[in-house]
Amino acid sequence: DAGITQSPRHKVTETGTPVTLRCHQTENHRYMYWYRQDPGHGLRLIHYSYGVKDTDKGEVSDGYSVSRSKTEDFLLTLESATSSQTSVYFCAIRDRTSNTEAFFGQGTRLTVV
Amino acid sequence: GESVGLHLPTLSVQEGDNSIINCAYSNSASDYFIWYKQESGKGPQFIIDIRSNMDKRQGQRVTVLLNKTVKHLSLQIAATQPGDSAVYFCAVGIQGAQKLVFGQGTRLTINP
């Protein structure tokens, strides 16, 4: 999986609790992305990062925040989880300078009850 | 902005037949196109890509066709095998830009 590790792989949490998902890469890629995947919606971009401490919003960023303090780690935080955030979350990396494709992690299945 | 759609959410083919999966995009400035395969429980995996200066690109048993006039992209899989069962996504972007836009996916089922 191109040196991408997501943790945890599965999580069940209660509504209103904070949750942090971690993406770790060993490829030294500058660009990292968080997507969510839901039936009927495909992959939708939540946030992305183009360098340490440089992040920007995607199309479905409400209710999510991110942080990137090191090149290899990109964290996604749900400040107060809601049932609508039950989804499968994918992290991806991309080397924009070579215009290559995005490589995806294995995903984190999050259930908010 | 860009929007990406697929013509069929599901496709069922006989083993050994050829499969064609389609994708349409809206932004004429898009110039980079990728097909991904996603098996159950896994993340999407790169299959093949094509840039706008090409109309066709071939890989191993796969061919991607690009029609920029009608903003249409297709993935052809030759001699479909059971291992080809998966969801296939197209992704569209602009070279040098930061984001890709994904279609919703087509689930390909192979009948024995």
pLDDT tens track for A32-72: 999 999 987 889 999 999 999 999 999 999 999 999 999 99
Q: Which residues of A touch B (CB under 8 A)?
A: 1, 31, 33, 35, 40-45, 48, 50, 56, 58, 90, 92, 94, 96, 99, 101-107
Band of residue B8 on the pLDDT scale cut at 50, 70, 90:
confident
Task: Place A96 in a pLDDT band, splitting at 50, 70 and 90.
Answer: low
Instruction: Give percent of chain A with pLDDT exceeding 70.
Output: 93
Look-up of token digits 């107060």: A80
The answer to whether B2 touches B66, Cβ cutoff 8 Å, is no
d(CA A58, CA B74): 26
Q: Is B46 an interface residue toward A (CB < 8 Å)?
A: yes
Closest CA to A84 of A54, A44, A113: A113
* Residue A98 falls in which region: left (phi positive, over 0), alpha (psi -120 to 50) or beta: alpha
- The dihedral built from the CA positions of residue B64, B19, B91 and A67, taken in this order, carries a sign that is negative
pLDDT band at residue B98 using 50, 70 and 90 as cut-offs: confident
Q: For A16, left (φ over 0), alpha (ψ -120 to 50), or beta?
A: left
What residues of B are in contact with residue A58 (Cβ under 8 Å)? Answer: 99
Cβ–Cβ contact B96 with A under 8 A? yes
Residue B68: pLDDT over 90: yes
Query: Higher-confidence residue: B4 or B79?
Result: B79
- Cα–Cα distances (Å) from B27 to A54, A56, B100, in that order, read 27, 22, 12
For residue A97, pLDDT beyond 70: no
- pLDDT band at residue A100 under the 50/70/90 scheme: low
User: A101 pLDDT exceeds 80?
Assistant: no
| Helix, strand or coil, per DSSP, at residue B82 | helix
Burial (Cβ within 10 Å: 0-12, 13-18, ≥19) of residue A68: buried
Asked if B98's CB is within 8 angstroms of A31's CB, the reply is yes
